[in-house]
Amino acid sequence: MDGGEGLGPLGRTEQEQGAMRGSEHSRKREDMDALDKKLRDLPAKKILYIEDSSINRHLVTKILAKFPHFELRCAETGEEGLALLQDFEPNLLLLDLQLPGIGGREVLARLKGRAAFPVLIFSADTPPGPGEDGLDGAAGYISKPLDIVKFKQALCDCI
């Protein structure tokens, strides 16, 4: 043996790498549990999610199903979302940017100065810098694919 066998790219043994992965997983689990507790402790909230992807709508619906005091409504297009806002007053809007018809930027522009709720942008696009791309007024930006811990943290921060 040359002493280098069984070492990973950072010079750690497979056991050490496994322990680190286990430790990282344990930390993420603790973070997730703490965020779940924070979300459970929040009062009832209404959330509108405007998203054309049925997969993403299903994922967010599944995540929020753990918190029955959150009322989630979904719209597939910007037009449908704006129409829902006539009768549904959310505490938070989750907004995809790449929508058919009226896109997320246009929805945000139409709500600017009128919305009494924060808007979290969901997008696979590269996150813009402050003031770029007409996203002024958004409370936050969550990149896709969705990181559940970051999503839950953003919920805690915004509602």
- The number of CA neighbours under 13 Å toward the Cβ of 110 is 13
CB 143 within 8 Å of CB 120? no
Per-residue pLDDT, 9: 55
Domains in the chain: ranges and CATH: 42-158 (3.40.50.2300)
Chain CA centroid to CA 159, Å:
13
Nearest Cα neighbor of 117 from 43, 46, 15 is 46
CA distances from 30 to 27, 34, 129, 150 (A): 5, 6, 31, 14
Q: State the pLDDT at residue 19.
A: 54
**What pLDDT, on a 0 to 100 scale, did the predictor assign at position 135?**
72
In angstroms, the CA 98 to CA 104 distance is 6
Residue 100: predicted pLDDT: 93
Q: Would you give the DSSP letter of residue 137?
A: T
User: Would you state the pLDDT for residue 112?
Assistant: 85
d(CA 125, CA 94): 15
pLDDT mean by block of 10 residues, the chain; 159 residues: 54 57 74 94 97 96 96 98 95 95 92 87 74 70 91 93
pLDDT value at residue 15: 60
pLDDT at 159: 87
